[in-house]
Chains A and B, each alone.
Chain A
Amino acid sequence: MQKELLLEILSEEIPSRFQKNALVNSSSLFTKILNEYGTNFASVTSHISSRRLVLVVKYLSKKTGNVFKEKRGPRVTAPERAITGFLSANGKEASDLIERNGHYYLNIAMRSESITELIPQIIEDFILKMPWPKSMRWYLEDQRMLSAFWVRPIRSILCIYDESPIDAFIESVGINTCDYTYGHRFLSPEPIRVSDFDDYAIKLKQNHVILDYRKKTSAINDELVQQAMVMGLYVSYDGELLEEVTGLVEHPFVRVGVIDGEFMKLPAAVLSTAMRVHQKYFTMTYPDLILAPYYGVVTNVPITDDMFRGMNRVLRARLSDAKFFYKEDTDVTLEAFAQRLSNIVFQENLGTMAQKVDRMMSVANSKDEHRAVALCKADLSTQMVSEFPELQGAIGEIYARVQDESENVARAIGEHYKPAGASDVLPDSFTGARISFFDKLDTLVGLLGIGITPSGSKDPFALRRSALCIIRLLCDSEYDVLGEDNLSWYITTLINAFSEQGVALSTDTLESVHRFLTGRLKVYMTDKLLIAQEAVESSISSFDSFDFNYKNAMIKAKKISSMIKRPGFNTIKEALKRVLGIIGKEEGRQDFDESDVSFISTYMDNLRNHINICKEINEEAELFEKIVWISELVLEACDCVLIHDIDPELKSQNLGLLNKFVKLVKSNIGIE
């Protein structure tokens, strides 16, 4: 295709988890660079697979437009000679110098340049600036230097512009660009010469590379679903796994395997984790959603029987280990495992997990709660959790059932890590929600109490997440997690429990926990619930202590937020502000000319009537409009009436009326 730039950077295998973001990052970076060079083009698209990152620019003009480019000169502290040299070399004068970060810069007008001459520099820039989450360097033997950073060593760079190959040496990675690429590593290892993107896409397809990331994902999914359907099964959808396997293959092949019956007695959570997380196999269920003894594998080459035996063998090995752990673990009671928690450190300065459990016990209430707290962390010392750490909680619940704990206790053990974040589900049971709350609050109290606070991107103990989960438990749960006590009671009780264990937390811990939680509550409401900042602030500032009901604060903020958008809200706000100012003052202004006393009393009577009518209005929108109207009256009254009348009786009547207005706004609009 004419005026098309095709660039393919072929490297060793790009980690799967980086690919999707790289797709977006690469095209936006490339666009940015092209613009910096003043080029004209129609579009930039990108493609990615396990070995290649591809960029296609359509209608890239052969010459750049005129642009200015900033050129960095000597340091500000450099000798005069260096600076004059920099100026004369660029034909500029001292007044043209721009000073920034200790350097002088000049704006240089770039003349229009031929794109083919610029392309090598554009590639260099792109390689240097591409943001991989983790990248590496390798040694360039010919140049005796380390390469630029890239995700994995680059093996070849294909570059074609306007149907002609670009021949350039990309110094930072020691590679000459060429006009050929390679297909699938195993199915098509020979080089392939290409002429433009259409040709490239067709030839890659012939050589077993599916270039379109989304097509590849849906091809895998469709094939899995198809094969499962034939057997009357459903594939358990797992988007993360699907993305991962997509990034591991250039040409997917799918097959369904069978799990030995002897393993199906293992808990479903264990089977799923072994298959999905460890082996990257898909799990399948019967129509009633019971886990079926089948799994789906996705490979990069056609699946032979030999291969299939290998896959079965490795799954069997993993599951036999799990079976062994299950048998060994269930020979021991959860109580015995709980005792071993004194060997597991919670945090260096805050003691062991056993001590954490003791502290959680101090805030537990019912019999079930005590039991669930006592056992909730026990699974951390089981062999199963040491092999499958992601199953903490789930294993505890399973073992609790094995030893015939009550349904409520078993469930609470399983649920007490929930919610794990902003979008995770909340515990279903009251006890589960309570234990989860105790656990997270204990973490927060302890760590904030020894001065560990998150800063910027550093939050090694995930305190923000703990706070978020507490907030969600308090705001979003159907249960009243706090019960009859307030938040301060829980915090104080935990602080005391620490001190009984000989851990002295900072004296302002109560306040700092409250402050941290309130801060995170604001963030939660603005960032996650998308409530207007102003509404959040006025909701929270309406409480006079830190220890307020989060759920009410949230409801209030939502309400204010819905009011803010309505016409007239600002009038209400202004009136309230004026009134609060007047009430707060001892004496009013004395320069009023209150000649017509009867007019004034009518004024105030009118206002009183309107306020009284409000009680009878049930329809919300009507009430809001009424309050806007009253607010206008109030504003006028504030202008015309001396509220702090010399007559004490009149004064108290006036103030009483204004206080009524304040109450009206507070209870119906939520601001104060």
Chain B
Amino acid sequence: MIFFEMKKILPNVALWKRIIAYLIDLLVISFLIMTPLMRFTERPATFSEIFTSITSTQTITVSILVSLLSLFYWAYLEYKFGQSVGKIIMKLSVKSTLRKKLSFTQTVIRSITKLSTILIILDTLYMLYKKGNQRYFEIISKTKVIEVKK
């Protein structure tokens, strides 16, 4: 009965909305986090130099900083408001599937795979494979994305 109630209250969200929300968030992160860091760091002048710069100390340091700040962006906004900027625009929200308010730990865990392109793809493929509406890390963190009703 509880499961039935939760399914009624938390209907599935279309994947395309979630993808657009994610892309919007990437754009915001590019502007807020990556652009300031890139202004002061060495960066490849051409795309072909990307490969040779990957292992430089500065590149690795910047990557770690970008990852931590991006995680903070998603985790804090979803914890505090239930929505990141992308989700606000796409009228989506994150809810806890437990009978309590969303915690910061939950939002951190659910956002970890967003730090890596390959991980988020695998996480999303799991959701498609299971034909559900929760990524693997959403299941672990006991969270789900829903549409915000007007």
Q: Do A and B belong to a common assembly?
A: no
Q: Give B residues with C-beta under 8 Å from A.
A: none
Q: Give A residues with C-beta under 8 Å from B.
A: none
